[in-house]
Every structure is written in structure tokens, then in C-alpha cells.
Chains A and B, each alone.
Chain A
Amino acid sequence: MAKTKIYLYTRFERFWHWLQAIIIFVLLLTGFEVHGTYSLLGFHTAVRIHNAFGFGWVVLFAFIIFWVFTTGEWKQYIPTSKKLWEVVRYYTSGIFQGKPHPVQKTKEAKHNPLQRLTYLALTAVLLTLQMGTGLLYYLYNDWAVWGLTFLGLRTIALIHLACAFGILSFVIIHIYMTTTGHTLTSHIAAMISGWEEVDEHEVADWERAARR
């Protein structure tokens, strides 16, 4: 099949992806130090960096959400079960047999059904919950003013930690999955340059949810 390069990720999209990656890395690193898992930067420094990057993340996240909705990119995250099992089957068997990916990336459909589901769950549930519990954690001293004293700091802290484990697990798998492109680094290269090499391909109607 003929290969072609398409411009998949816009400048802002790449910017927010990498900035969010850095922020999440720093938050995981400092967060687990605050949890007492290890001693690296010093507790006080870790707390300060964690707070600063936490707020930074919330602000970036607001920009991301704004961008996703104003550009219509949110439609890329509408979940679908169509071809979902084909994708799952590809990653569990087809990939070992050198078969082509069942869903091609296109400008209009840059995420396969599995990615749509993962990113939606990640963004709408895991990251939101993490930011929410993080803010509550930070604002602990004001719970009485906000009428939130029914919350327990312990509960909030444990949810925050559970989400951190979830995010760390995602990061590991996510980084690994970048090696499953045409070459080991082609997905990462695309997220840097914006251009991804794909097979020439027609966008299926079902993928074009936006035009329905």
C-alpha cells in the first residue's frame, strides 16, 4: 500500500501534549515523594513543586478542554464499539503476524476506537478525578468554609493516590504503544513534527461522526 504523510497534530495539540507529559512526570515524581515512597528532592521542595505543577496542570487542562471544544476535536473522542474488537485483536495477535492495523489514522479520525475509549476515560474520569482530589487536598484548610467537612482528608488522599497509580500505569503502556507504528519512533516523531506517515486510505463514514 502506498504511504503518505498527513498533518495529524496541530502546533497547540503537540504543545499541550508534551507540556502535559512533563507536568505529569513531575507530579508523579514529587507526588510519590510526598507519599513517602522515597526521598529525592526533599519533602518540602517536593510539596512546593507538586503544588505549583498541580495548579499549572489545571490551567493547561482548562486550555486543552477549551481547544478541544472550540476546534470540534471533541468529536474525535466520541466512543464507538465499531471495529473496537478488531483493534483489540490486532494488538493481541495481528501485530505479531505483521498484519496491518485495522483502523488507519486520518486527519478526521486520528484515534482508533480503542484510543477513543482510553483517552475519553483518561480525560473525563482519571485526570479530572486526580485534579479534583488534588485541589481538594490543597484546599483542605478551607473545607469548613466551603461546607466540605463531610469529606475525609484520608479518603481524598487515598483516591488521589489510587489515581496516581492509574496514571503511572497508563504512562507506561502509552509510551510502549508509541513503538507500535511503522517504525519504533514514527508515532513519537509525529507527535513532535505533527506529520504522521500513514497508508493511503479512505475515511469510513462511521469514523466521520462530525459530518453526520
Chain B
Amino acid sequence: MTKLLYFSWVRERIGVAGEERDIPSTVSTVEQFLNWLSQQGEQYENALADAASLRVALDQTHVTADAPLNGAREIAIFPPMSGG
């Protein structure tokens, strides 16, 4: 099981702050993961439709779409950051 975390409007559109999921072994990159997750229901499709405006962290480290999942235990999805 992989821990998934959602923040900001990604969290609001999916409707939960986080969940545990079994990710299929055929899903090996961040891009493939986002494609797979967007097929898990209408709210996921809606939240993840604009991939260019999403950022992903694997085990709390920023990664790009072509990064391998490498068995990450925690995957977070969020929009570009706007703190400060």
C-alpha cells in the first residue's frame, strides 16, 4: 500500500486529504501514476485533468513527471506552491 496525500484544490476536488492505495506494478513513473489515478473516478479525473499545473513529491522530495516511482511509500500531489 502507498500513502497518497492531496493538498490545496487537488484535495478539495478529490474530496479527501489522503488515502492508502495499491498501485499496479505496471505503473512505474510519476506520469503513469497520474494517468492511472485519474481513471479511479470522476473526482480524480476532474482534479488531475491539467497535468501541467500539478506538482508531485515522492517521499517528500520534489520530482518531475518522468521520475520513476521507485517504491515510494508516500506520494503527494499539489498545485504550484504559493507560500510566503
**A and B form one complex:** no
- Interface residues, chain A, CB within 8 Å of chain B? none
**Chain B residues near A (Cβ < 8 Å):** none
